[in-house]
Structure 1
Amino acid sequence: MFSYMSMSSSQTSLRSVNVPPPAIQARVIQDPHCKSGEDVWEYAISRSWLNKWASLAAPATSQQHRPSNEPIGPLVVREIDVENCYIGESVWSVLLSWHGLDGGSYKRRRHVNPGYMPLTSEGGQSCHVLADRHLDILMVTLCGLSELDSPDKHHILQLYAWDTVTFWEDQFRQRVGLPEKTQLRIWLIAEHDDNETCVQLPQSSQCSMMQHLCQVCPELVHHLVQRQGRCPAPEHQAAFSSFKSTASAGYLSADPEDTKSYLFQELLLQRYKISIAVESVVQSQPGTDLLTGIGVGAVNLNWTPTGDKPPSWENRLKEVLDQIATNMHGIVDGQREKVGTVCKDVVRGAVSESERLGEQLREKIQAAETKGKSLSAQEKDINERETVLNEKLKKFKKGLADFLIEKKRLEEEMRKIEEMNKIAESKIKLNVGGHKFETSLDTMTKDPQSVLGFMFSGRHPIKREADGSYFIDRDGTNFRHILNFLRDGDSSFSTMPADVKALRELQKEADFYKLSGLIDFLSMKVGS
């Protein structure tokens, strides 16, 4: 069993000499969707073509289903991107070397993991924005420069905006039908309302198309920066896996209306129309005539009769050579003067440029020194503030330590007071407004938040009467209901009086003793 690992992306231009049959291809590439760790790009390929390749390369399961040696045909990339899938560059380069690319298709690729990309804003400030391989699609009009005003000769081209200009040169050349080695001059044109901005793209540039696009559409940088906090539009949310990592990191807005959109949609909303115009250029070649090429001019080798005899060939040759020498001296003198003038201009320009750069450098040094002084002052101020804060922190820590010590001391004293005031007997005698009652300490402390629970908690001393009872200056008529509630809880409600007047009197007693459960019950009964 073969196991395909990875290939260098530099092999994308290789072509296989002996193309193996599909069955062997499938043994080498077992999973075309598998991406290598070295893959930076993933390339579009027609789903139907890949399915056909997979079916012809499928392993035989019976004598009737043997692998076919039928030719698959060149690699196909569809115009509509939903009819394509994307595979890693390493697998795509191998399939391309075996099958080549269909003449009606052009290469389309995008980043495997886009990440953050550098951009320069209108003011020259650098920033990084999170690229999106699904959304950053640009729909442009492509044509020859001379056909700019001929809509019937325009092509609609879909491209990934973060790809390099160098990559798209080949695609532009193919779409407008120019030979492979033709040199191009590429113009990026942005129409906005009634204005038109035209920028010439540098040849063989490794800058992204997005960088140049932001030059003609300055608002685009702000949109890309703001877009990082937005959710995907509902119609795109299920399709775009790139949103998952962003959402899990917590970068998405909570507002469902604040959504992301395709790049070309955003440009349409901002009333931009983007066009690419190309023209083929050639480099002029120097002349091949020796004498004309060196600028000597025409030399007359014909003989003009001036006497009875023609001159001897030696004399004629001498005359020609003298003429050439004379012309050469004149040319050398003229060229010497031209070269001197050009050199002086070059030196003057270099000196002027050097002075300009020197002035800029002095200004930057002065600005750096000013900023350094400002930073030093800020650092001094921060150090002074830090010293003050450290002193305050030290005092706070000392105060906190003293507070904790004092708290511990007070808690210890409180514990001792409770121990001293704690009632030893479990049975308690009460004198409530002249009515005698006997109950237990557990009953009286059943509700620690009540007045009775507070009195007998041991935290405060309570004076006893001569007979050993504790006097409470309240009406003792309804106190038995208070004790029943403390003993039995909610089950004592059935023994409560039914008379409303008696219930109101009992409600006052419950309010005094702060028995919340009994208060709630009585409020409901009296209120009904």
Structure 2
Amino acid sequence: MSESKGKMASLSMPEPPVQRALIEPMFHRPYMEGDFWYGITLEWMHSWKTYVGILSKKGSRPAGRRGEREKSSDGQGASGGSGGPPGGIFTAKLQHSHGLAMVPEDAWNTLFGWYGLADGHHIEKCAVYNYGDKVEIEVNHNPFKVMLSNSLKDPACECHIIRFSKAERVGHIEWKIRETFHVKRSVQTRLWGRLEGEDWQPLFDREKTIGKLLDIDSDFIKPDLALEVSDADSIWRGRPARAENTQMNAVGQFYKFSIFEDLSQSWEKDVHDQIDLIGRNLIQKMHQNFNNFMNRARDNLTERELGIQDSERHLEERENEIAEKMKLLEEREVKLGAQISQHNQNVVAFNKDREVMVAQMEEERQELKKNRDEFETEKKDFQDELKRMSQLHRIQESRVKLDIGGQQFTTALQTLQKEPYCFFARMFSGRHSMETNADGSYFIDRDGTHFRYILNYLRDGEVKEGTMPDNESFYNELLIEAEHYQIRGLVEHLKNLIRQCGKPKRRVSPGESPPERSYSTRVSGRSSGDSPPGRSYSPRMPVRSTGDSPIETPYSPRTSGRSSYSSYSSSTGTSSFGVR
């Protein structure tokens, strides 16, 4: 044993087969909203599974379930040595770890009772939350902007950012805000909340969770919370602007501890108390700094007021100067009268010249009208041509819905035709009659698990680094799909990756020889009607006649356990297309 027995173990440890029989079924439990799961490092979990016989001592570590990953983030050893039980449990935060196994609460309580915690590790408890379209472990707590609703009209109102779980009860959140703003216990309060851009909602039921009341479906939403304090006569007058006018009181009790603190040990609570003390000291210092800022602002305003008084004296002096200049302007007015008389004479001469210019302008206006008529004709022809081009562009950019083995994918027709000689370029070349399902999609009888990688390659024209799992088995599976869809650049890229792994890329059935093909590594820019220079490439796909079985013609070698043929069928089971 390289690790000593963990602290706080409270239960006698049974034999390894008994441990396995009790704990292993719990690992397959699905996520249920409201449950709690706990984080354990993969090293410790691997040591325990080896100890109880779930994994062989020489076997490779399987991919983890849910929170488990292939690599560990902390590199700490949790193994107990040669064949013995592991030491205290190693834990890690879900949002900071790349090697973590999540276990349900009853499994955690049992393991914790047997092994306890390793020194320096803490209980990492996570809530299961329903995000609307899926139920998952909550990785991050949302930041809430909290304030007093009675002071919202003040631009300099005090605000704080506090993180809460979406599964947290309103009773604890309201208690925490009351403590932040030092609200006395005898004073009644109620809580309001809103999402960005929405109206305030009453959060008067302290037993409900904040995520359900505000309909939060993401870890990155930053809601606002306003605590309303009642007046001395118990009348609610400080509700936020545009909030519902109601005198209803909040119901339910306050909760001093959050849903994650009920299992905390005494040493953990001491840490939280120290953090709270540091926070209160920080707030006091912030108040002191704010008061100093206000004093400096008042001094600055006094200086500005003195500056304004000096400006008023300068303004009076300028008014006297303006009066003297007005006298000079009157003298200049007399002189301007004489100049005006001369100007009137010039106007008479100008009128004569204007008549000549008007005649010339009329001639030019006729010429301009003629040119304008010609321009309007050309403009109409151009708009007609632009309209035809716009219609052609919309046809080219039309969306296509594909049903790949039951999974729906929607993309642009132009994306599917980027690879000129691929499966989809021939499918949508217009030379084949195709039928769609009832929902307008084209059904392709292939595994849809890897199709998103095929589609991303057609969109980007390349495989971006870090977008695919680094796994040879995955490369072989994706290669089969790429060969089926005849994506030459992706096939060549995957073959290079498999060669780098130093293992055979895939198996070939007895009596079957591998095909010899030459592929490029980028999506070609040639149209689907061209043929690649210097060689002949004639893939064949199945043809199905109405009411008959499909006539299948192989276009590539079969691989063990997978079909190398595709069929396209509608809801009526009628014919699809074939490309030769």
Q: TM-score range by the shorter chain?
A: under 0.3
With the length of structure 1 as denominator, give the TM-score of the two structures.
Answer: 0.25
Q: Return the index of the structure with the highest Cα Rg.
A: 1
Instruction: Please identify which structure carries the higher helix content.
Output: 1
